[in-house]
Amino acid sequence: MTAHRESFSVSFEFFPPKSDEMEIQLWETVEQLSGWDPDFVSVTYGAGGSTKEPTLAAVTRMIGEEKLPTAAHLTCVDASRDEIRSVIEEYRAAGVRRIVALRGDPTSGIGTAYAPHPEGFAETADLVRALVEYGDFDVSVSAYPEKHPESADLAADIDTLKRKADAGAARALSQFFFDNDIFERYLEKVRAAGIGIPVVPGIMPIQNLTQLKRFARRCGSSVPAFLDARFEGLDEKPEEREKVAADIAAEQMEDLGRRGIRDFHIYTMNRAPLVSAVLQRLGRRQISSPRIAAA
């Protein structure tokens, strides 16, 4: 893929910092990645609003000071409708007009049973509907090419996505995956179910394969054996390991491009070098003057 600004778009996901050191790292990452001219960036939101204030602070700075198109994540977990609407109003006051609407993981941990708040939204589609009623929100939702861990099967999972799309979601951002055939088959089934919104593939450049495997098991994503082979013998060779990681992500995006995909959502893990290396391999041009000054 000879990639230029008009040939494909990227968006980046960040998470709110939990320490002063992580705060510095976040803004250094944002500074470096803003030069790649993302369509938008997003900031995650902890279960039950556990990162509400850090998320709001990060989103406010990205929109107000840094002028980045920014989506704030919002979940339904452990919150009443009134509490969620209060967060929505805070977001709106900060200038947020993009929301990634999620059900959210149970506060008891991924894999445990989810129970809706008795006065809350029963599912994500209800939250999407409430956001759409405001009339000025661009709403993204999640999609799961290998199904959500709690879904009975892929068909049930796609039914859930259809309810979110029918409620007014503008696009779906997918869970990360590494087998593009899985994503293509998933997309075919999504379209066959009458879902027309864009499904943007989530790309996870591999910062640490061992940690990735643990995380993938929790969220239901498979890690193909070829990844072990690609990283074999590189445990003590960080520079070579990063080159291989960048190659893998770039190859995946290039292959998806050949299959007609033009939008990508990249999970940055608040680290810029590997993401930048991936985009460099794809020939993407940086804009001449990054919009963000480091903290």
* Structure letter (DSSP) for residue 286: P
Contact 104, 142 (CB under 8 A): no
CA distance 41 to 288: 19
How many beta carbons lie within 10 A of that of residue 219, not counting itself?
15
219: amino acid identity, one letter: C
> Are the beta carbons of 221 and 177 closer than 8 angstroms?
yes
* Distance of alpha carbon 21 from alpha carbon 222, whole angstroms: 32
The answer to whether 66 is a known catalytic residue is: no
Are 287 and 33 a contacting pair, CB within 8 Å?
A: no
Kindly name the residue from 13, 31, 83, 242 that is annotated as catalytic.
Answer: 13
Q: Half-sphere exposure (CA, 13 Å, Cβ side) for 194?
A: 6
Which residues are catalytically annotated? 13
